[in-house]
Amino acid sequence: LTALLSPTWFVAGETGSWRILRVEAVKGDSLPAARRLSVCGPGDDVAGAARWSLQGVVGHARYVQSQEKAALGAVQPALGRESATCAAFIPIRKSAAWWELAQDERRAILEERSHHIAEGMKYLPAIARRLYQSRELGEPFDFLTWFEFAPEHADAFEQLTALLRRSEEWAYVEREVDIRLSR
């Protein structure tokens, strides 16, 4: 068998280039405490025992429209910038009610009513982001979200998460763990 999708693994334990600073259960159950996190692709060796691991794949965008795609492409930075020594890893699961909605209804909630993309875009290029899909892999979370930024943008990132958590979209979030890291 040939793997069609190459998952990325987030492995928490005693090793890894990211030091875990705090783990906050925003909603629902937390994840076990661990000291370090490694982000691994296919072929990477994971050293040591894992406290927990989560996997996701970078899929195709579901909701982004052409203008937004162009706007994002023009400003979004790459991961791995030298200055971006802070990271946030935020696994999220949405409710059955969310998944029962039609695609157009989900888009309306996410963007027309919650302004997720328009508001998020204001924080680029300070924040580098990557969205991993996890639901189809039978994982405990639907999404693994990953963000990298310099220490001077940590406050801005707090503002953004606070804003999103007050939105209509977040009423459909039933589990969210906010993990902060540094390297």
For the chain, list the strands marked E by DSSP.
8-13, 18-27, 36-40, 50-56, 86-94, 128-133, 143-149, 173-182
Neighbouring-strand partners of residue 88: 147, 180
Q: Give the one residue of 51, 129, 130, 135 binding ligand HEM; rule: CB under 6 A.
A: 129
**Residue 61 interacting with ligand HEM (CB under 6 A):** yes
Quick check: 161 binds ligand HEM (CB under 6 A)?
A: yes
The answer to whether residue 167 forms part of the interface with ligand HEM (CB under 6 A) is no
Tell me if 120 contacts ligand HEM by CB under 6 A: yes
Q: Name which position in 63, 71, 130, 137 contacts ligand HEM (CB under 6 A).
A: 63
- Binding characters for ligand HEM, 76-115, by CB under 6 A (x = yes): --------------x-x-x---------------------
Q: What are the φ and ψ backbone dihedral angles of 46, each rounded to 5 degrees?
A: -100, 115
- Is-cis flag, bond preceding 140, omega within 30? no
Size of the site for ligand HEM (CB under 6 A): 21
The CA distance from 122 to 152, in Å, is 16
Q: Residue for token digits 């025992």? A: 49
Return the range that interacts with ligand HEM (CB under 6 A); candidates 3-11, 13-21, 30-38, 123-131.
Answer: 123-131
Is 12 an interacting residue with respect to ligand HEM (CB under 6 A)? Answer: no
Query: Among 28, 145, 150, 167, which residue interacts with ligand HEM (rule: CB under 6 A)?
Result: 145
Task: Provide φ and ψ at 163, rounded to 5°.
Answer: -60, -50
